[in-house]
A and B are shown apart, each in its own frame.
Chain A
Amino acid sequence: MTQLDQKAAEYGIDLSVDLAGVRLTNPVCTASGTFSARESGQFYDISELGAAVTKGVSAVPWTGNDTPRIAETYGGMLNSVGLQNPGAEAYRRDELPYLSQFDTKIITNIAGHSIEEYCEAVRMLNDCPEISMFEINISCPNVSEGGMAFGTDPVMAERVTSEVKKISSKPVMIKLSPNVTDITEIARAAEAGGADAVSLINTLMGMHIDLKKRRATLARKTGGFSGPAIRPVALRMVWETAQAVSIPVLGMGGICRGTDAAEFLAAGASAVSVGTAALSDPAAVVRIKSELLEYMKENGFASISELKHAFHI
């Protein structure tokens, strides 16, 4: 048992949640793209995580975009990494065995340029018993083909979901883009395609200009905007989506503190992911879990469902 799980037991608080049939010891997970087992694990015990949501993996290696890929903005940041990853084979060989030593669930984020590429990556990892769920990234703003193109069109979103569902032996969660007028439309399309859960939000499209260099700060010009500045947008979208679909929602977007996590749970999320906060504080995800626990103790919530039911929004 981890340090914080021990503490929760002492407090008589049950932090566990269910996410599409997958039991998580607690609702605090990482967010894809901001977690890497060996690197993040230098700063905290990975077994504290509800789930380790790993970085987007594609069927073949991707080199990502040119640098600069990172820009800081007011209360947030932009990235245009472009899903650089060593491919499903290397993920299976290097990342999974390492990660599986820890007592946490593994959710593997899948990237692709086409339906066939998403399916191919899923096929390559389908028989890995370590993986509890696939998260399909149809919302990356940093790739030219695929990515967000699937996440902003309900017809495409439903099609990619149903094709992946046909072959996946594990629950499938669709990661949604906030770069749409009505996110519930895409969430409903994913549900109609057979999604077991949805996760949101991915980054918002943004831009930064370097006044000294007189050019766009990012080599790709635009990038994905994340961090505390986007939290109200994310929270609103999680709340809307949780009401629009009957499948569970993994909520994320600018969560920096335990009370932020509580807000997302109150808005209808079944669990939450911590992304950009891990850049401001490498052990943020564990701190947030600890703060959520203290918040629950102070407010007399014995379980996550008690917390959720205490709110009338």
Chain B
Amino acid sequence: MSDRKIPEKSVIAAEVLSNEKIAGGIIKMTVAAPQFAEEAQPGQFCNLYPAADRLILPRPVSICDAEKESGTLTFVYAVVGAGTEEFSKLKSGQSLRVSSPLGKGFRMPSGTGQKAVLIGGGVGTAPMLFLAKELKKRNIHCTAVTGFRREPFLSQELKAAGARVITTTDLPSPDYFLGTVVDCMEINEISGDCYFACGPRPMLAAVFDYVQKRGQDVQVSLEERMGCGYGACVGCVCDIREKDKDGREQIQRRKVCKDGPVFMGSEVIWS
């Protein structure tokens, strides 16, 4: 059959080049993985495998940046459990098992000269950096609206990538907008030709609501508890609205790791 493929994905022991705290409980890690950096698309993730025998599941972490020139991948992750705690202790020169980039990432707009709005919530801001860089190469102007509970991160990197950055937090501060990313978008009347969002599900649902009112759609990157992270176990699913060949609408349970993590907001069953 024509679609038979030789194994093209792998898990490698990648050298950790840096692993530093960039905000409370948030770590930025760069690893050497030239082949993966070459293949990576914005919105994809890699499975990071803890070394401890008692931790048997991979941690899917979205790609924050991929540099072909230096052959590196960068991840930004929150220390939330035993696996990410283990990663946080890795020192430069040590190694970490990393999978090939996985999942379907953001679809790039076809035209140039458009305006894109990138919305990131918490660690959901991470994939927006890689996306902003790729959009810039296509001459697409980016506004990044990033929301955090407390301490913002990646603002400088996004600015360096040419994006206009508006940051919101839940704590009053003279430097940031107080409130949610959607409040901020409404008040600042932020709009674009295309939208991309990654963050907690309630934020994604609110963003979809915001763009829908304007007759637009948004690419959302969903999160779900994963098992294998490559489509074999069917542990992570979400309900997606699809049209069958006769144009009738039906709801399908799709794999977040394989069919996503990026879906159109209009396809997702939000309730």
Are A and B part of the same complex? Answer: yes
The number of residue pairs between A and B whose CB atoms lie closer than 8 Å in the complex comes to 114
Q: Is the CB of A101 within 8 A of B4?
A: yes
Asked if B1 is at the interface (CB within 8 A of a chain A CB), the reply is yes
Known: A67-B236, A84-B237, A228-B53. A282 touches B225 (CB 8 A): no
Given that A67-B237, A72-B57, A98-B1 are contacting pairs, would A42 and B253 also be in contact in the complex, using a CB cutoff of 8 Å? no
Closest beta carbon of chain A to B102's beta carbon, Å: 9
Interface of A is mostly: loop
Size category of the binding interface on chain B: 35 or more
Encoded as 1 (CB less than 8 Å from any B CB) or 0, chain A from 72 to 113 comes to: 101111010100100000000000011001000000000000
The answer to whether B233 and A33 have CB atoms under 8 Å apart is yes
Considering the chains assembled together, what is the distance between the CA atoms of A282 and B234 in angstroms?
14
* Contact across chains for A39 and B230 when beta carbons are under 8 A apart: yes
| B5 in contact with A79 (CB, 8 Å) | no
Contacts of B225 in A (CB 8 A): 67-71
Q: Which of B6-14, B28-36, B167-175 contacts A (4 or more CB under 8 A)?
A: B6-14
B237 and A34 contact, CB distance less than 8 A: no
Q: Point out the residues of chain B lying under 8 angstroms from A101, CB to CB.
A: 1, 4
B-contacting 9-mer, from A123-131, A163-171, A174-182, A272-280? A272-280
Contact yes or no, A282 B57, CB < 8 A: no
Q: A55-B234, A81-B234 are in contact. Are A76 and B56 (CB under 8 A)?
A: yes
Which secondary structure dominates where chain B touches chain A? loop
User: Do B253 and A64 have beta carbons less than 8 Å apart?
Assistant: yes
In contact, A276 and B8 (Cβ under 8 angstroms): no
Chain A residues close to B by CB (< 8 Å) = 33-36, 38-45, 55, 63-64, 67-72, 74-77, 79, 81, 84, 97-98, 101, 227-228, 276, 278-283
What are 20 A-B interface contacts by the 8 Å CB criterion?
A39-B232, A40-B232, A41-B5, A41-B7, A44-B7, A55-B234, A67-B238, A70-B57, A70-B235, A71-B225, A81-B235, A98-B1, A278-B228, A279-B56, A279-B232, A280-B56, A280-B57, A281-B11, A282-B230, A282-B232
